[in-house]
Homo-oligomer: A and B are copies of this chain.
């Protein structure tokens, strides 16, 4: 029952490349006065505004409590605004300020440039195959969680 070494190798490679990409991205955006989590949030908001904090947290796979403080700082930095929802007084809708839009565009251009360089010599077909594999593994991980915390 020894562990299959290729599975370990895969996990190691996955963890490593994921961490490296995040670090590279972070270096680029910090050079422009942002952080990786804020850049992620900006990117998401550039596609869809007027989301609630919960929706945004769910999209970015963060806890609500984490979202609150991230938005606190983004609000202090003048990137976003919290607007009340007239239908539900508990809700706050998040919108980008003009400065936030500007920064979101900057983030997008950085992301485009990094993607171009990272994947320059990679066959798109290989990426398709890899995405399918990653999604199958992702589903297996989800099942794993269900076993431990059944509804």
The answer to whether A134 touches B6, judged by C-beta atoms less than 8 angstroms apart, is: no
Q: Which of B6, B8, B128, B137 contacts A17 (CB 8 A)?
A: B137
User: Chain A: how many interface residues by the 8 Å CB criterion?
Assistant: 54
The answer to whether B10 touches A138, judged by C-beta atoms less than 8 angstroms apart, is: no
The answer to whether B6 touches A127, judged by C-beta atoms less than 8 angstroms apart, is: yes
CB contact list, A2-54 vs B, under 8 A: 3-4, 6-11, 13-22, 24, 27-28
Task: Kindly state the separation between the CA atoms of A9 and B8 in the bound complex, as whole angstroms.
Answer: 24
Please list the residues of chain A having a beta carbon within 8 angstroms of any beta carbon in chain B.
1, 3-4, 6-11, 13-22, 24, 27-28, 61, 111-112, 114-122, 124, 126-131, 133-138, 140-145, 148
